[in-house]
Amino acid sequence: MLLHCWASSGWQTRAVIVIACPGQGSQTPGFLDPWLQDASAKDALARFSDEAGLDLVKHGTVSDADTIRDTAVAQPLIVAAGIVALDALRKALPADAAPFGGIAGHSVGEITAAYGAGILSDSDAMSFVSERAVAMAEAAATTPTGMSAVLGGDQDAVVAHVRSFGLEPANYNGGGQIVVAGAHDALARLADEPLKGTRVIPLQVAGAFHTSYMQSARDWLAGASRTVEPQDPTLRIWTNHDGTEVTSGTAFFDLLIGQVASPVRWDLCMDAFSAAGITGLIELAPAGALTGLARRGLKGVPTVAIKTPDDLPAALDLIAQQ
């Protein structure tokens, strides 16, 4: 499905390429190495390191998997990488390329998306994600909790089943995947007593993100981010809250704050992409997770995962083919 827009020469067909920004768990040791070959990317990452109060270059090149799994490290690292990849893609676009059809992010990737849509500057994005990461890490340390992925099964039945264990749905990822969160003993019982037809896979995360366990992080962010002045988006952007398009920068930023303690509805975002007539999806670094979900939730839509600068030509080819 293609959108049709009016130009001086009459109605024209326009492709809808959606930019997708991944969330926590997408990072892997050394994934920033290839990006540092570009001087502008290296300079940007050095500046982002100063703004985040972390050596992002070190963490993206030599730090091990356990180190970059730390919430306080992972979130700024992922947003910095996404900004660098998006800037590289935009720089590589031909002058006559059609504008992107929209942008969205999964969990912390919504901060990358807010930058891409013009809601936040890169400096505000890095400052906010640093506050978010620390607040969520501290909330996770208060009560030992974790997360597990539930694969398969009817969504409503899965949610009812996990709630019977005192667990909360945290990520509705679409394609038959829901991530649930809560106390470790409850997650262990769920693994022993899965709903028939489902599989339960424990995840290596520090806490029950996007649930009521993160209320203290949400409260902290509401106070700590008052100096940020979000702008209205210049690019269509959808929210994890319910998959709807948001046209107010202030409203989107408020949803970003609330998002830390509410479920990620990526399934509804993908539904919105379909309704908008998506013709291609490009995932920013550290890419792979969202293109994987798109293969199940957006069947038939071509995708490109920009993991390194070597993937930029494939993204440009996808744009050119639309």
Architecture of domain 3-141+210-321: 3-Layer(aba) Sandwich (3.40)
Confidence at residue 15, expressed as pLDDT on a 0 to 100 scale: 78
Q: What are residue 199's phi and psi, to 5 degrees?
A: -120, 145
Which residue of the set 26, 49, 107, 262 is catalytic? 107
**What does the pLDDT read at residue 11?**
29
Catalytic residue among 210, 225, 241, 262: 210
Is 241 designated active site? no
Looking at residue 24, its pLDDT comes to 92
Q: For residue range 126-163, what is the model confidence (pLDDT) as tens digits?
A: 999 999 999 999 999 999 999 999 999 999 999 999 99
The pLDDT assigned to 132 comes to 96
pLDDT computed for residue 224 by the predictor: 82
Q: What integer pLDDT is reported at residue 14 of this predicted model?
A: 59
pTM for the model stands at 0.93
Other CB atoms within a 10 A radius of the CB of residue 287 amount to 26
Distance from chain centroid for Cα 93: 23
Of 29, 296, 19, 309, the closest CA to residue 178 belongs to 296
Do 3-141+210-321 and 145-203 agree at the fold level?
no
Low-confidence ranges of the chain (pLDDT < 50): 1-13
The dotted CATH code for 145-203 is 3.30.70.250
Domain ranges for the chain, please list them.
Answer: 3-141+210-321, 145-203
Model pLDDT, residue 49: 96
Q: What are phi and psi of 30, to 5 degrees?
A: 80, 10
Q: Which of 180, 169, 175 is nearest to 267 (CA)?
A: 175
Q: Is 210 a catalytic residue?
A: yes
